[in-house]
Structure formats: C-alpha cells, structure tokens
A = this chain, B = another copy of it.
Amino acid sequence: MNAPLVTILDDEPAIRTMLADALEEAGFRTLSFGRAREFEAALQSHTPDVCLVDLSLPDTDGLTIVHRLALEQGAIVIIVSGRAQVQDRVTGLELGADDYIIKPFDPAEVVARVRARLRSNKPAAQTANTAHFDGWRAEFDSYMLVDDAGEHTPFSHAEGEVLRLFLDSPKRLISRAQMQESLGGAAGESFDRAMDVRISRLRTKLREDPKNPQLIKTIYGAGYIFLGDVRWN
C-alpha cells in the first residue's frame, strides 16, 4: 500500500520541479526525467502508476513514447504539452493518452486530473474504495452493498476480501490457489472449503440464482470468474 508513483518526463527543469513539488505535496511519490532515454531505463526497475509526458523532447518524439506506454504497457498516460491545437490534442488522445493538459497549467489541476485517472482507471492502483457493477455498489469503507433501489446489505470482512479480489480482476479466471494466496492463505487442510463457503455467502448477498449465477461463475476444476462491468470510483 505505497503511495502511487507518478513519473514526470519533461525537458524543462522548472516544470519538472513544479510538478514534482505539487504532486509530492499531494502525497504522491515522483520520479523526474529530462530525457526519454533515462526514462525508459528507469522503467526497467519501476512501474509507475501514472506517467506525465511532455511531447517536445530533445531525444525522441513524445508521441512514440505515449503510444508505447499506453497501448503496449497499459500505463496511465497524461500528456502535458505546449502544443495547444485541437488536432494535437485529438491525436494525442487517440494514440492512447488518458488526458491532455495544456501549458501553461496550474499544478492544482494536474493533481486533480492525476487523482481522477487513478480513481477510475486501473483497479491495480487502487485508491478508490467504492466499486460499481451491474446495478450494485460496493462500499468498502462502510462494508455495504447497495442495490439499484438503494437498499443496503452489509458484508463482512471475509466476504469483502473475496469481493475485492473479484472486483480487481473482473472477467478473468481466478484459481483457488490464487485466492488462497491473496487472502489469508495459510493453506490449511480443508481451507478450500472455507473459500467455498465465503463465496456461497457472497452469492447470497448478491442475490444470485444458485442454479444460474450471473456474476460469480464457477469453473469446475479451475476456479471462479467474476462477470460484471466494474468501475471503481
């Protein structure tokens, strides 16, 4: 549970420090780079949660970096650029950037936009504590499930662990082994039975039809898969 890491790639030192100061003030960790080469080298050992990228770099075309980061590595990329033309912004976003901020900017807005991206984009970099899916809202602060009609159903800590695991990796098979490891997996003898029971109880609270569950599917001999359009907020 470290603070999210934000990388800054800009050739102007003044901008780097301005951004770094504002972001660290807001509680983020930062790494700054003036050249694409250094930045790419650092990626070997760090995995940033958000990448701020300036388009006009001395050694590379910024758009190439954006494309590689966003589409190949799946990172959250925010372009911070002096190019203010609409066409620049459109192509930047089309190339996979998640946001496009124009210089000159106010550091407070950058922080707000970084937060907004972290909030909803990648569950891996959790900062949010509420998830929405298929007419449900899961509030991990208050341990509550809320349905369309606003009806509240509490869930326990153990149930929340399973639910969080599902909501972090929707539409992907999660094996029993993974579950045991992620959760309090002191792999006991019949520990897998306990997992079954947790899931059964969670299913009940989600009002799943036992004969035909829509959200939590069992894959015989493999594990479970959570189907649901998850959005963290």
Contact = CB atoms under 8 A, between A and B. Distances in A.
A157 B220 CA distance: 7
A96 interface: yes
Contacts of A137: 72, 74
A108 interface: yes
Main secondary structure of the interface of A (DSSP, over half): mixed
Contacts of A222: 157
A154 B212 contact: yes
A36 interface: no
A116 B93 contact: yes
Interface string A13-28: 0000000000000000
A97 B116 contact: yes
A37 to B, nearest CB: 19
A124 interface: yes
A124 B172 contact: yes
Interface of A: 70-74, 76, 86-87, 89-90, 93-94, 96-99, 106, 108-109, 111-113, 115-117, 119-124, 126, 130-133, 137, 141-143, 154, 156-158, 170-172, 212, 217, 219-222, 225, 227, 230-231, 233
Contacts of A142: 217, 227
- Number of identical monomers bound together in the oligomeric complex: 2
Contacts of A111: 90
Contact of A108 (B90, B123, B133, B156): B90
A154 B227 CA distance: 14
A109 B90 contact: yes
A222 B157 CA distance: 9
B227 A123 contact: no
A115 to B, nearest CB: 7
Contacts of A133: 74
Given A123-B123, A124-B172, A106 B132 contact: no
A74 B129 CA distance: 12
A109 B93 CA distance: 9
Given A121-B120, A141-B225, A70 B109 contact: no
